[in-house]
Structure formats: structure tokens, C-alpha cells
């Protein structure tokens, strides 16, 4: 981890949220090995890539995952101390995760800076991202809640947006966030793109632990009160019991709804790096080399006369494509998925149906 604290001397904690299920990447992503623990892009898992991305900027790394994934997460990250991998007893969305992490960090390292980031994003180049984190920490040291806005590449309807026009005094690449905007319809997204003052909400945040605790105390005191117990007992024999009691007491809510849409001192760093939240199989081809006919092949695959097709084999049977155009074929475990490009979001419906049927053998 980094040995260079922020300019103020505050240490930086990277908190990685790694509890998602990644159902849109089934069958490679399963309940026992979800998207973030799988090699979707590159030679390492998405979680490993995320931790490597912050290694040069963070003094400490903490992983917040689910209780069922703690052991597997620890195996993938031997460099992270075991007690820094925290397993939520049940999913409660992102706000409880943030509150828990803030209480732990504040108890262990009062006033430290926190960088909060999901485990399943593709961000390049890593060095530019690290530089952006350092700039965000400078803004956060002043008491701002900082997020990162991605300049939109298209009129996307699958992302939330940030509206930020006014520059933040004293920071050339930071802006004052005027509003968090829900996922828009197509016409609204086109207007946002034309306007130029709207950015994709990356879901990556930076703040001081004491500041975010104060803000959460103002806007959702019950949540922060619930997490005070596990925060103060982290690393002790009492932690698991305190954590279970805390999660019994809270209701699911996202950090955007719980805090970011209500807080006053919200700032945004304009992302100068490439970002993709890799929402479905449709996005995978954008991050791999293509052949002269636009095909991407991963794993044990063969193709003949295919165009614009993704052939992906993880640990299932060999994949062979003949005469395919704009298709996706995935082989993992004991399942094979075949779908046209553009239908990647529909995988979630298939998984929901299989779960309703009790098909645990493939999930």
C-alpha cells in the first residue's frame, strides 16, 4: 500500500464494495462466485484489479462483501489483512455499507480520508485514476463530500446523472454538484448530452470519515447509530454480534438517496479516465482485442465466418461459432448462454426464473 499520506497528513483508506451478485453475467457469475470474483476482463478478477488500482494511493484497504464470500475474497487478496475483509450478514444496499465503513475507519484512524469504490468497474489507465483520487482527497480534506462525474460518451439511459456546472473555488477540475438525477428516458438523456453540464454518476466517492459521519447523523441518524456498535468493536471478539445486531436494525437504502441527494457540500471531480461499470455481456467486447471481422474470443473457442461476435469460455465446454453475426455465446460451469448483442440485460430475467424454479445446480 501507499506510504505517502495526503498533503494534510491524513491517511487514506480505500473501501471496496464487493457484495454484488452480478446476475447479468451469468453463467460466468454465480452466487458462489459473482462477477467481482471472476475474470471477466483481463487476466485477474475484477476485485483484484480494483485493489491493484488503488495500491499506490491508499494507506489501508478494506473490503466490504457478504459473509458467504469472505473466505473466497481473502484467498484472492492475500495482501489484505483478514480483519479488513468484512462480511455483511445480509444485503442492505450501499448506505449501511458506507456507514459501517465510516464508523470503522473513524474508530481506527480518526479523521482519515476514505475512498469508496465498487469492485466491478473497468477503469483505465490506473495511474491517471490514482492521480484523480489524490485530487479528490484534497477537496475532501476541506470538508466536501466528493464524487466523480464521467463525461457522457452517449445519451445513455442506464446511468444516473450528476448536474454540475459551477466550478468549485480553488479547484480547477472540481465542480459544485447541483443535483443527482435519476436514470432518464431517451429524450431527456439526449438533452443532457447536448447541454454539457451533466455527467454520468460513477458511484465512486471520497470524504473524511468524520465528515461523512456528521452528515449521516444529520440526514439519517438511525442508520449511523446502528453502525456505531460494530465500528467501535471492529477487530474484537464482539464484532460479529454487533454487526449482526446492526444489520437487523437497518432498512435497505442507497447512499445516493440516504445522503448525497440531501447534503449541501457535494463536489464532483471530472473524470479524466476511461470508465465502464460493465453492466452486461454487451460491454465485454469493448475491453478486448478484436479480429479483422470484429470478433472477440476468450478461453477455449473457435470460429468460422463470424462477424462482431463474442465467444467466451470460462470453465465450461469449448465454444465454437460458425456463421454468427453480432452474437454472444458464453460457456461457464454447466450452462451455455446464446443471445444477440443488445439483449444482455435480459440475462437477469433468466436468472430470476431459474431461482424461482430452484435450479441451484446452475446458479
- In this prediction, what percent of the chain has a pLDDT beyond 70? 98
* Residue pLDDT, tens place only, 200-225: 999 999 999 999 999 999 999 999 99
pLDDT band at 2 (very low <50, low <70, confident <90, very high): low
* Residue pLDDT, tens place only, 306-329: 999 999 999 999 999 999 999 999
Name 22's Cβ contacts closer than 8 Å, sequence gap at least 6.
Answer: 29, 34, 35, 36, 38, 120
- Give the pLDDT score at 173: 87
With beta carbons less than 8 A apart as the criterion, state whether 95 and 255 touch.
Answer: yes
pTM for this entry: 0.94
- Give the pLDDT score at 5: 62
- Give the pLDDT score at 20: 84
Domain 12-276, second-level architecture: Alpha-Beta Complex (3.90)
- Give the pLDDT score at 6: 66
What is the rounded CA–CA span in Å between residue 178 and residue 175? Answer: 9
Name 170's Cβ contacts closer than 8 Å, sequence gap at least 6.
Answer: none
3-state secondary structure (DSSP) of residue 17: strand
Residues 269-279 have a mean pLDDT of 95
How are beta strands 113-118 and 161-163 bridged, if at all? Answer: unpaired
Grid cell, residue 303, equals: 470460429
* Residue pLDDT, tens place only, 35-90: 999 999 989 999 999 999 999 999 999 999 999 999 999 999 999 999 999 999 99
For 110-161, where are the alpha helices, taking DSSP H only?
A: 126-140
Going from N- to C-terminal start, the domains of the chain cover 12-276, 281-356
Amino acid at each position: 500500500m501507499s506510504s505517502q499520506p495526503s498533503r494534510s497528513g491524513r491517511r487514506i483508506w480505500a473501501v471496496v464494495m464487493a457484495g454484488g451478485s452480478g446476475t447479468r453475467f451469468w453463467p460466468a457469475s454465480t452466487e458462489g462466485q459473482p462477477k467481482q470474483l471472476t475474470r471477466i476482463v483481463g487476466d485477474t478478477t475484477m476485485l483484484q484489479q480494483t485493489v491493484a488500482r488503488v495500491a499506490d494511493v491508499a494507506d489501508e484497504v478494506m473490503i466490504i462483501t457478504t459473509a458467504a464470500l469472505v473466505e473466497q475474497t481473502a484467498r484472492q487478496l492475500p495482501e489484505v489483512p483478514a480483519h479488513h475483509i468484512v462480511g455483511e450478514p445480509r444485503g442492505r444496499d450501499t448506505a449501511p455499507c458506507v456507514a459501517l465503513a465510516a464508523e470503522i475507519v473513524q474508530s481506527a484512524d480518526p479523521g482519515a480520508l476514505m475512498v469508496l469504490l465498487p469492485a466491478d468497474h473497468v477503469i483505465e489507465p490506473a495511474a491517471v485514476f490514482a492521480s484523480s483520487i489524490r485530487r479528490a482527497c484534497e477537496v475532501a480534506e476541506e470538508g466536501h463530500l466528493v464524487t466523480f462525474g464521467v463525461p457522457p460518451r452517449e445519451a445513455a439511459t442506464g446511468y444516473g446523472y450528476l448536474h454540475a456546472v459551477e466550478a468549485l473555488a480553488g479547484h480547477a477540475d472540481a465542480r459544485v454538484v447541483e443535483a443527482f438525477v435519476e436514470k432518464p428516458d431517451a429524450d431527456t438523456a439526449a438533452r443532457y448530452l447536448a447541454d454539457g453540464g451533466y455527467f454520468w454518476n460513477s458511484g465512486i466517492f471520497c470524504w473524511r470519515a468524520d465528515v461523512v459521519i456528521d452528515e449521516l447523523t444529520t440526514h439519517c441518524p438511525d442508520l449511523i447509530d446502528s453502525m456505531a456498535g460494530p465500528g467501535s468493536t471492529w477487530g474484537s471478539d464482539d464484532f460479529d454480534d454487533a454487526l449482526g445486531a446492526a444489520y437487523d436494525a437497518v432498512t435497505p437504502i442507497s447512499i445516493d438517496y440516504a445522503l448525497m441527494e440531501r447534503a449541501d457540500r457535494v463536489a464532483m471531480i471530472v473524470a479524466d479516465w476511461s470508465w465502464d461499470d460493465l453492466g452486461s455481456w454487451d460491454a465485454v467486447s469493448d475491453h478486448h482485442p478484436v479480429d479483422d471481422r470484429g470478433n472477440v474470443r476468450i478461453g477455449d473457442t473457435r470460429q468460422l465466418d463470424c462477424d462482431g461476435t463474442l465467444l467466451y469460455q470460462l470453465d465450461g465446454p469449448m465454444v465454437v461459432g460458425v456463421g454468427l453475426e453480432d452474437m454472444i455465446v458464453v460457456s461457464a460451469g454447466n450452462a451455455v448462454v446464446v443471445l444477440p448483442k443488445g439483449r444482455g440485460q435480459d440475462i437477469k430475467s433468466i436468472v430470476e426464473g431459474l431461482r424461482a424454479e430452484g435450479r441451484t445446480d446452475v446458479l
